Amino acid sequence: MKKAVLLIGIVLVVLSLSLTVASCGKSDFPTRIEVTVPPDSTSVTQGGEIDFTGCVLTIFYEDGTEEVVSPDEIEVKDFDADAVGKKQAVELVYSRDDRKISTILSVTVVEPKVISLEWEGDFPTEYMEGEYLEKDSLTVCVNYENGTKKETRNFTLLPSGKLTSDVTKAVISYQGVKTEIPVTVKKKAIESLTVLYDETAKKSYIEGDEFSAEGISVKVRYNDKTEETFLSDALLFTHFDDTPYERLLNAEDLPYVTVETKWGIEKKAITDLTIIPIQPESIEATVIGGTLVFVEGDFFSFKQEVKVTVHYNNGNVVEYSTKESAGRFSYEMTMLASGQTTQEFWLGSYDEVKGTVDITVLAPNLTGITMGRFPTKWLYAEGEAFDPTGMTILLHFDNYTEKEIDWDGEGVSVSDFIVDDAGRDPYVVIEYGGFFVEWDDFELALS
């Protein structure tokens, strides 16, 4: 009976072991685990989990057998889903009862796929040629396919070099996704010219003077607010028609200065020069062949040749002869007075510059006298003295002029009534300069 019980026990143990082997199919002692086929992708999107699709994990047992296990049975350790760009050695742990085995899988966390970019900030959209896009003023927001967003400075902004006038957009690029910002790039150009003078520069000229560029420079201002100065040896001075400027022809013929820069050519009239017309400064006269002689009452004329020397403000001296050029000169048309020794005249319209010519003015010869105005009193009583009040006499000269003087003028003599023995009516005698006139045009009152 005891043998039967023992036999039954042995059978039960063997049967139990058989059932255990049948249920596990393998030895109970796994020795290692390996990634025999890696996942389809070892890249993990930031914030996500490792995708074991395509991965084959194999457990090796102590008896040499092996078994493929599901990733669901694996514990993932040492994985940081936010460590973007860094290759991570992730530990894959398989546990059975109290026994644990593990292996390493290398994965890399990558950002999620970018679907669009947005920008904000005070980014200038207008530039001058030669400037650079202002990347520092941009803030770029990245939109990911998983609905997340983040700001980044790690973007590319093109063009990165100096801007040219044909650039119409700024391109923001990040992980293959781009967005554009319209921009305007103005061509650098000359905005204004300012003519400058140092202490050696000549600013006042007389017509015909030779032009001097010494001491002249030009400050060029560009439309980007930069400035550049050009000295005289880099400047071109011309007339308006672009012919070389050598002399100042007249007050209207101002010089033009032309500046040639990398950004263009500009011409400007130099308007702050003083150009003085050629004009006389002084006049001298010399009578040829004697003296100009006139009689009082004559009008002046160049009746004999006079040499006139004119000194001009440009240093020139020109001599004219009134015999050939009398029409060049002007003078006052007034009668000459006895004793006058000079006559003033001037050249053409330059009446502010006067000269004088020596003359002799003789007194005219007296040829006779006549009554001028009669006396005021004309009616007399017998025995009453003559009253010449109001009376004048006319002096007649050989130059056909007349002069009226009062009865009491110097050299005039007036008699009282004269009664002669021939029975003539009373009369008076007026004398002057050896000539006399008698006057009897009055009446006596009856007594």
The sign of the dihedral angle between the CA atoms of 129, 131, 137, 142 is positive
98-134 pLDDT tens trace: 888 889 989 998 888 888 999 988 999 998 888 899 9
Q: Kindly list the domain boundaries of the chain, sorted by start residue.
A: 29-110, 114-186, 190-276, 280-362, 366-444
176 against 27, higher pLDDT:
176
- Taking the C-alpha atoms of residue 26 and residue 22, their distance in angstroms, rounded to an integer, is 8
Say what the pLDDT of residue 11 is.
Answer: 41
SS3 344: strand
Q: Which of 60, 76, 73, 75 is nearest to 26 (CA)?
A: 60
Q: What is the pLDDT of residue 421?
A: 67
- The answer, yes or no, to whether residue 180 has pLDDT greater than 90, is yes
Q: Which residue has the tokens 């010449």?
A: 388
The average pLDDT across 221-234 equals 92
Beta strands in 10-148 (DSSP E): 30-37, 43-45, 56-61, 66-69, 74-77, 87-96, 99-110, 114-120, 126-128, 139-144
- Tens-digit pLDDT profile for residues 349-388: 888 999 999 999 998 899 999 999 999 998 988 888 999 9
Place of tokens 């992708």: 41
pLDDT for 27: 54
Whether 366-444 and 280-362 are alike in CATH topology: the answer is yes
Amino acid at 158: L
pLDDT at position 381: 86
Collapsing DSSP states into helix, strand and coil, what is residue 234? helix
The residue assigned the tokens 């032009």 is 211
Residue pair 88/107 in contact by the 8 Å Cβ criterion: yes
Specify the pLDDT at position 440.
86
Q: What is the pLDDT of residue 272?
A: 87
CATH fold for domain 114-186: Immunoglobulin-like (2.60.40)
Mean pLDDT over the full length of the chain? 86
* CATH (residue range 190-276): 2.60.40
Per-residue pLDDT tens for 131-164?
899 988 899 999 988 888 888 888 999 999 999 9
380: which strand partners? 444
Using a pLDDT cut of 70, give the percent of the chain over it. Answer: 93
Architecture per CATH, 366-444: Sandwich (2.60)
**CATH code for 29-110?**
2.60.40.3630
Query: Residue 124: helix, strand or coil by DSSP?
Result: coil
CATH T-level fold of 280-362: Immunoglobulin-like (2.60.40)
Question: Can you tell me the distance from the alpha carbon of 438 to that of 369, in angstroms, rounded to the nearest whole number?
Answer: 10
